[in-house]
Amino acid sequence: MTTQNNNTTTNPTPGIGAAPRGGRGPMGGPMGGGPMAMMRRGEKPRDFKGTLNKFVKYLGQYRLLILFIWLLAIASTVAMIVGPKILGNATTKLFAGVMAQIAGTGSVDFTYIGNILVETLMLYLVSALLSYGQGWIMSNVAMNLTYRFRKDIAEKINRMPLRYFDGTNHGEVLSRITNDVDTVSQTLNQSLTQIITSIATVIGVLVMMFTISWQMTLVAIATLPLSFGIIGVIVGKSQVFFKRQQDYLGHINGHVEEMYGGHVVMKAFNGEAKSVEQFDQINATLFDSAWKSQFLTGLLFPIMNFVGNLGYVAICILGGYLAVNGTITIGDIQAFIQYVRSFTQPISQIANISNVLQQTMAAAERVFQFLAEPEEIPDTTTPVHLETIEGRVDFKNVHFGYSPDKIIINDFSFYAEPGQKIAIVGPTGAGKTTMVKLLMRFYDVNSGAILVDGHDIKDFTRGDLRCMFGMVLQDTWLYNGSIMENIRYGRSSATDEEVIAAAKASRVDHFVHTLPEGYNLVLNEETTNISQGQMQLMTIARAFLSDPKILILDEATSSVDTHTEVLIQKAMETLMKGRTSFIIAHRLSTIRDADWILVMKDGDIVEQGKHAKLLAKKGFYADLYNSQFEGKEI
């Protein structure tokens, strides 16, 4: 092992941040979700116009389908609107026939009325079929868009630098691919056609109303300002309670999750009474906000119906007067009342859709912002491919900082010969993991170079580079699958025999045979059906299976019993034979035979050398080593 002096400052890795619609309206169009949806105003996007332009471009490949959907929606709406007018003719004919029969001058023409009823039924059937067709096509477009969004986000995640995830709440990233995409999908599926349906309904109904009687139409329109005024007052008052309800719903969920997650500690310190008291306080506020918001929401439609009924009374009186004067027929009055009932609903839907679009564009904006985030520096187009890997690693005049204005590693140089064990030691927060992240090229150095077998790691593709390394980390990661599948994660092409051989080499095979289903035992999501030590041995087996030339080991024996610790140490010793190994050591007694030790403190490599010489210097390493046996604080 040869070293060169260095002036190094490293910093700990930056912490990870803490991270009803449906139904159909009176004219057959989909409703916008009722009062609950109307009451909730979504978060507004910062750049509505810009996001809308991006969204329209994203929909570009579906433009012909969307145009066809809109044509179907318009045709369906027109067919539905014409129905009451035609049905009114049947009412007029029936009334005239009844009056003629009473006067003894004629009878009811049931053939004519029957033809009209058949014609109306056919119109409604055509409208329903067209509506079904546009809904089916729109669902297909929405699901395709959702698939593209999630595919683009998933691919983007794999191209993002680790720096982004170190500084971003993991839940925030997950929200992009779940909640935000779902919001966009639901709006596209339900609201896009509803926009054109509602607009066509308002225009069509208004035209039909004017063709029947302009006087009654003006009376109907006169009730709208009163309706909108009531909506505005109720929305303004209920919005405060809805916001408070959502806030305290989050508080109560957080409290329950926190108490459930730490229920053992809570019980150990007799915190039940305090927890229940805190829950009751939050729950009381939630109850107060919820019932007030629901009560105000519940007032909306009864009041709207009352205002609408006032309009109907005025229209009936005026219609009766006009009918007596012979200006309009009885059938026209019946058709007009149907149109009035169909006039206010789409207006409310349009108002609701404007709020939904705000929320949708806010969700789409977050998705587009994520897709526009800077990506990793692309891999070289002429990568190096090594036939054999020896495992020599060189750090040459490396400078690095998590931010460009704060360099924390300055001119650091050293090299490790193939097969050597390099230990990186230091107190918590000294920056030991930073060296590992540079080796694996999770971060790129600011200047200088890291070489593997004489080649700059930037000359390899990231995939090829990381295939050279095996990692056994302190935080074991196993997924919801069988033991066999979890070990095979190290090399997906491995046979069952190769997996079992790796398990035997890492002391896994013995404990697997004590399990009821052996290698076929499926680990649960929390991996609570095996012990912490067994989990660690499985990660060692996974590294054995990948057969890397360079190892990165983060000892994870602090939370296991002495017997399991010995097993893990033996497994790691077997794994390190013939491989260049970088060991992040927490228990210094385990790295006394390391070929070279790098001692870190507050981001600096303050000492380096072999164990005996470092102890003889009686410096920081000696103090650190002795503190583990004498209980000193460093």
Distance CA 126, CA 359 (A): 34
Is the model's pLDDT at 267 over the cut of 90? Answer: no
pLDDT of res. 567: 77
Please identify which residue in the block is written with the tokens 């009803």: 20
pLDDT digits (tens, 9 = 90+) for 454-463: 999 999 998 8
Q: Please report, for the chain, the start and end positions of each structural domain, with discontinuous segments joined by +.
A: 419-432+467-630
Query: Considering only CA atoms, which of 231, 200, 187 is closest in space to residue 29?
Result: 200
Distance CA 188, CA 146 (A): 10
In this structure, which amino acid lies at residue 522?
Answer: V
Q: Cα dist. 494→374, 488, 490, 546 in Å?
A: 36, 6, 9, 9
Torsion of CA 273, 275, 277, 283, to 10 degrees: -150
Least confident of 260-274, 391-405, 537-551: 260-274
pLDDT of res. 338: 80
pLDDT digits (tens, 9 = 90+) for 124-134: 899 889 888 88
**Which of residues 335 and 35 earns the better pLDDT score?**
335
Distance CA 145, CA 134 (A): 16
Can you read off the two tokens belonging to residue 516?
A: 């009821």
∠ CA 438-573-423, nearest 5°, is 35
pLDDT of res. 39: 36
- Give 471's pLDDT tier (boundaries 50, 70, 90): confident
Superfamily per CATH, domain 419-432+467-630: P-loop containing nucleotide triphosphate hydrolases (3.40.50.300)
- Give 101's pLDDT tier (boundaries 50, 70, 90): confident
pLDDT digits (tens, 9 = 90+) for 106-162: 777 788 888 888 888 898 899 889 888 888 888 888 888 888 888 888 888 888 887
- Beta-sheet pairing, 447-452 with 393-400: antiparallel
Distance CA 468, CA 388 (A): 10
pLDDT of res. 366: 81
How many of the other CB atoms lie within 10 Å of CB of 2?
8
- Which of 121-125, 295-299, 575-579 is the most confident on average? 121-125
Name every residue whose Cβ is closer than 8 Å to that of residue 338 and which is 6 or more positions away in sequence.
Answer: 84, 87
Distance CA 576, CA 555 (A): 13
Query: Considering only CA atoms, which of 314, 322, 323, 345 is closest in space to residue 219?
Result: 314
Name every residue whose Cβ is closer than 8 Å to that of residue 468 and which is 6 or more positions away in sequence.
Answer: 389, 391, 452, 548, 549, 550
Distance CA 138, CA 70 (A): 10
Can you read off the two tokens belonging to residue 309?
A: 């009924």
pLDDT digits (tens, 9 = 90+) for 533-561: 888 888 888 888 888 888 888 765 555 66
pLDDT of res. 31: 39
Q: What is the DSSP letter of 459?
A: G
- Give 9's pLDDT tier (boundaries 50, 70, 90): very low
Is the model's pLDDT at 12 over the cut of 50? Answer: no
Distance CA 259, CA 606 (A): 43
Can you read off the two tokens belonging to residue 421?
A: 């064990």
| pTM, rounded to two decimals | 0.62
Query: What percent of the chain has pLDDT above 70?
Result: 85
Is the model's pLDDT at 21 over the cut of 50? Answer: no
